[in-house]
Amino acid sequence: MTETITRFAPSPTGRLHVGNIRTALHNWMLAKKLGGKFMLRIDDTDPERSKEEYVDAIRADLAWLGIHPDGEERQSARLSIYEDAFEKLRDAGRIYRCYETSQELDLKRKVQLGRGKPPIYDRAGLELSDADHAAMEAEGKAPHWRFKLDHDDPIAWEDLVRGPQKFDPATLSDPVIRREDGSWLYMLPSAADDIEMGITDVLRGEDHVSNTAVQLQMFTALRDAGFGPIDCPIATRWPHFAHEALLVGKEGKLSKRLGSLGCDAFRERDIEPQAIIALLARLGTSQPVEPIANVAALIDSFALETFGRAPAKFDDTELDRINTAIVHQMEYEVVKDRLPEGMGEEAWHAIRPNLETVSGAQDYWKIVTGPIELPEFSDDDRTYLAAAAAALDFTAGDPWHALTGTLKESTGRKGKELFMPLRQALTGQNHGPDMGELLPVLGEDVARRRLERAAA
The Cα–Cα gap between 121 and 177 comes to 14
At 390, is the secondary structure helix, strand, or coil? helix
25 and 65 in contact (C-beta within 8 Å)? yes
Give 112-127 pLDDT, tens digit per residue. 999 998 899 999 999 9
- 145, 175 Cβ separation under 8 angstroms: no
Strands 176-178 and 144-147, how do they pair? Answer: antiparallel
Span 320-376, pLDDT tens digits: 999 999 999 999 999 999 999 999 999 999 999 999 999 999 999 999 999 999 999
Higher pLDDT, 235 or 363: 363
Per residue in 35-89, pLDDT tens? 999 999 999 999 889 999 999 999 999 999 999 999 999 999 999 999 999 999 9
**Is residue 39 a contact partner of residue 74, using CB atoms and an 8 Å limit?**
no
Res. 230 pLDDT band, cuts 50 70 90: low
Which among 200, 192, 196 is positioned nearest to 38, based on CA atoms? Answer: 200
* Amino acid 235: pLDDT: 52
Q: What is the pLDDT of residue 438?
A: 96
Tell me the one-letter amino acid at 361: A
Is pLDDT above 90 for 253? Answer: no
- Looking at residues 1-6, what average pLDDT do you find? 86
Q: How many angstroms separate the CA atoms of 13 and 342, rounded?
A: 43
CATH 3.30.70.2340, domain 379-455, yes or no: no
Q: What is the pLDDT of residue 250?
A: 78
Helical ranges in 263-375 per DSSP H:
263-268, 273-282, 295-301, 316-327, 332-335, 345-351, 361-369
Residue 256 annotated in ligand binding? yes
Averaged pLDDT, 220-226: 94
pLDDT, averaged across the chain = 94
64-74 as b/e: b if 16+ CB within 10 A = ebebebeeebe
State pLDDT tens for residues 157-205: 999 999 999 999 999 999 999 999 999 999 999 999 999 999 999 999 9
Task: Decide if 258 contacts 247 (C-beta within 8 A).
Answer: yes
Residue 402 has pLDDT above 90, yes or no: yes
**CATH 3.20.130.10 holds for 247-327:** no
Q: Where are the domains of the chain?
A: 247-327, 332-369, 379-455
Tell me the C-alpha to C-alpha distance, in Å, between residue 205 and each of 135, 247, 260, 295, 307: 43, 9, 17, 23, 12
Is 232:5 a contact under the CB 8 Å cutoff? no
Q: What angle do CA 88, 94, 96 make, to 5 degrees?
A: 105
pLDDT number for residue 258: 79
pLDDT at 2 (0 to 100): 80
DSSP letters, 116-175, are T-------GGGG--HHHHHHHHHTTPPPEEEE----SS-EEEEETTTEEEEE-GGGSPPP
pLDDT in tens, 121-153: 999 999 999 999 999 999 999 999 999 999 999
Please give the distance of CA 298 from its chain centroid, rounded to a whole number: 14
Q: What is the pLDDT of residue 259?
A: 75
Please state the φ and ψ torsions of residue 207, each to the nearest 5 degrees: -70, -5
Check residue 133 and give its pLDDT. 97
Exposed e or buried b per residue across 373-386, where buried means at least 16 C-beta atoms within 10 angstroms of its C-beta: eeeebeeebbebbe
Nearest C-alpha neighbor of 162 from the set 309, 313, 312: 309
Per-residue pLDDT, averaged over 306-318, amounts to: 93
d(CA 22, CA 18): 6
Tell me whether the CATH fold assigned to 247-327 matches the one assigned to 379-455. no
